[in-house]
């Protein structure tokens, strides 16, 4: 039986390289092959509640369409109100290193030493100062960013701040305030599965395309290739495709509830499983990006395993849930507080590598039960650098408490 591979695709759209040569792996008329993200074990975080972005939403036009039912009329009005806030982002990125072998007797390469590739993504206006939110992976490495508005006006943009860990970025355009139609930011903590979800973006370069579905799940955690994770993601079946990256996910009132970011797919295109960064993360991160150009993530400084009944039995542990600490990273906040990592390695069936066993087991943080690494990641989303947290641990069969002062996550 053939193994089917599920791909995780960052939904920015990358077009061909210029000049004269395509350096991207292209299929179907210039769509870049999907990016694979392995599921590494990690220990991430996020931050408190800095100032909230204050916006003035564009008024809802009262356009009644003959023959439209109530739901259709809702989407028609929502699109008319919000689509002017959504922009098309065109990015030119430099490929810094491109070399060809020097073969004696052969002529020099006809291609220039420096190549460029083009990318497409989406974004949305958040204020009348010209700030636009998008994904970090849309503008990462950009040499030039061009924004196109709904009236086909184009403007150059500059990067104000980026945060690779949450995959958020803020860019800015210098245009008259009258051209800018800020979105209204909603609330993501109270979202429920089954609520309507509407995406507006530029899939495959088709500008301001609207698709609709529901919220399929909340609280998803995605391991990133960096080793850290994105917590609290919103899962939706609204069609999201390459080029939708950075565009808004909306509720039925037209308020932004997320930023469309990633799709899971076997084909490279939408298969009904898309993930969006929750708007409450946007509210925490974006003000810092505007003010400081970066965001400081709190860091506990551990590696560990999510426990289950099988692993607990194999290691003869006293509990079946929690985090078995494999390593308290040297010099990190947990190590300084006295948390212990693994003391020896054990081969466990079902694990490719030996398990680092004998370390502390984290069962709670600030009296909130921790059953898995995902629980810890989600909790740390609401903490801040410099904040003290109390860990409840089991060491040698006894319950203990440790106070840890969270540090800033380093760039590994």
Please report the domains of the chain, with CATH numbers, ordered by start residue.
Answer: 1-98+114-293 (2.40.10.120), 298-408 (2.30.42.10)
pLDDT on residue 227: 65
Closest by CA position to 357, among listed 368, 370, 347, 371: 347
Region 384-401 average pLDDT: 97
Q: Which residues have a catalytic role annotated?
A: 137, 167, 245
Predicted confidence at residue 64, as pLDDT, reads 73
- Contact at 8 Å (CB) between 159 and 145? yes
Find residue 327's DSSP bridge partners. 303
Please say if the pLDDT value at position 54 is more than 90: no
For the cut 80, the answer to whether the pLDDT of residue 352 exceeds it is yes
Predicted local distance difference test score (pLDDT) of residue 3 = 45
Which has the minimum average pLDDT: 96-105, 113-122, 154-163, 289-298?
A: 96-105
- Is residue 9 scored above 70 in pLDDT? no
pTM recorded for the entire structure: 0.79
Compute the distance between CA of residue 253 and CA of residue 196 in angstroms, rounded to an integer. Answer: 10
DSSP 185: B
Phi-psi region of 295 (alpha: psi -120 to 50; beta: other; left: phi over 0): beta
pLDDT in tens, 74-103: 999 999 999 999 999 999 987 555 444 555
Q: What is the pLDDT of residues 133-143, one digit of tens each?
A: 999 999 999 99
């Amino acid at each position: 039986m053939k193994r089917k591979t599920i791909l995780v695709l960052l939904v920015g759209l990358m077009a061909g390289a210029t000049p004269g040569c395509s350096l991207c792996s292209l299929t179907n008329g210039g769509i870049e092959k999907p990016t694979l993200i392995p599921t590494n074990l990690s220990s991430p975080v996020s931050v408190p509640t800095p100032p909230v972005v204050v916006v003035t939403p564009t008024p809802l036009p009262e356009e009644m369409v003959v023959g439209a039912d109530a739901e259709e009329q809702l989407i028609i009005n929502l699109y008319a109100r919000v689509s002017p806030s959504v922009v098309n982002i065109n990015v030119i990125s430099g490929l810094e290193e491109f070399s060809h072998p020097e073969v004696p007797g052969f002529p020099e390469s006809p291609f220039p030493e420096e190549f460029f590739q083009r990318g497409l993504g989406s974004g949305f206006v958040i204020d009348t100062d010209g700030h636009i939110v998008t994904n970090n992976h849309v503008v990462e490495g950009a040499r030039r960013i061009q924004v196109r508005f709904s009236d086909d006006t184009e403007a150059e943009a500059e990067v104000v701040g980026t945060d690779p860990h949450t995959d958020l970025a803020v860019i800015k355009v210098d245009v008259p305030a009258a051209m800018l139609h800020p979105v209204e930011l909603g609330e993501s903590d109270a979202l429920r599965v089954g609520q309507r979800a509407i995406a507006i973006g530029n899939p495959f370069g088709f500008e301001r395309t609207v698709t609709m579905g529901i919220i399929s799940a909340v609280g998803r955690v995605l391991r990133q290739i960096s080793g850290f994770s994105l917590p609290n993601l919103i899962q939706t079946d609204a069609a999201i495709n390459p080029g939708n990256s950075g565009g808004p996910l909306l509720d039925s009132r037209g308020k932004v509830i997320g930023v469309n970011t990633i799709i899971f797919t076997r084909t490279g295109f939408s298969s009904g499983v898309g993930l969006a960064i929750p708007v409450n993360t946007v509210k925490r991160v974006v003000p810092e990006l505007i003010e400081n150009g970066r965001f400081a993530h709190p860091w506990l400084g551990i590696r560990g395993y999510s426990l289950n009944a099988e692993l607990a039995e194999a290691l003869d542990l006293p509990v079946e849930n929690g985090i078995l600490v494999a390593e308290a990273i040297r010099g990190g906040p947990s190590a300084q507080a006295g948390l212990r990592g693994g003391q020896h390695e054990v081969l466990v069936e079902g694990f490719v590598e030996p398990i680092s066993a004998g370390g502390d087991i984290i069962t709670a943080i600030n009296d909130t039960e921790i059953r898995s690494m995902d629980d810890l990641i989600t909790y740390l989303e609401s903490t801040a650098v410099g904040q003290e947290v109390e860990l409840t641990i089991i060491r040698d069969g006894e319950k203990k408490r440790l106070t840890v002062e969270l540090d800033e996550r380093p760039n590994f």
